[in-house]
Amino acid sequence: MLKLLILNGPNINMLGIREPEIYGKMTYNSLVEYLKTEAARLCVDVEFFQSNHEGALVDVIQNAYGRFDGIVINPAAYTHTSVAILDALKAVGIPAAEIHISDVTKREDFRQISYAGMACKWHFIGEGKLGYVHGMEAIIKHYKEIENA
């Protein structure tokens, strides 16, 4: 069974409260429960981590080395600022999918650069909670393709 790490950056814990016109009314806890159900359906093991602190996210990415088969990451605001998260993702070399609940391509100019995304093989932007599912599915497909090669 594949083991996936689902990481969420700053303010994702405020889902349902923070700008519901952009992010919807889904809470972080309901997102986690939804993704647990989807992971079970997809037959993957998942572990969740959310932090508002860049260093904590870097530590978790580094500690994923040798323990996880894939990373599904919504770096949130750190997307546009964190070379440290980019470097951590590159260092561990674990296949990663970048997720954004909102469509950052249609938002402020500063949101148009994704440092973390530079280390991600897949990008799911503006798909809400389905983006996470599509990220998990992409990683599963990646390993099936390797298996069948």
Query: Given 78, 100, 115, 132, which residue is catalytic?
Result: 100
Domains and CATH numbers, the chain: 3-148 (3.40.50.9100)
Task: Please tell me the distance from the alpha carbon of residue 100 to that of residue 1, in angstroms, as a whole number.
Answer: 26
Query: Given 23, 28, 34, 143, which residue is catalytic?
Result: 23
Task: Please tell me the distance from the alpha carbon of residue 21 to that of residue 5, in angstroms, as a whole number.
Answer: 28
Task: Give the CA distances from residue 66 to residues 57, 75, 91, 136, in Å, rounded to whole numbers and listed in that order.
Answer: 17, 21, 12, 18
**Is residue 23 annotated as part of the catalytic site, yes or no?**
yes
pTM, to two decimals: 0.93
**For residue range 70-81, what is the model confidence (pLDDT) as tens digits?**
999 999 989 888
Query: What's the rounded mean pLDDT across residues 130-138?
Result: 98
Burial (CB count within 10 angstroms: exposed 0-12, middle 13-18, buried 19+), residue 25: exposed
Confidence bin at 86 (pLDDT 50/70/90) = very high
**For residue range 3-54, what is the model confidence (pLDDT) as tens digits?**
999 999 999 999 988 877 777 788 999 999 999 999 999 999 999 999 999 9
**Is residue 100 annotated as part of the catalytic site, yes or no?**
yes
Instruction: Identify residue 44 by its one-letter amino acid code.
Output: V
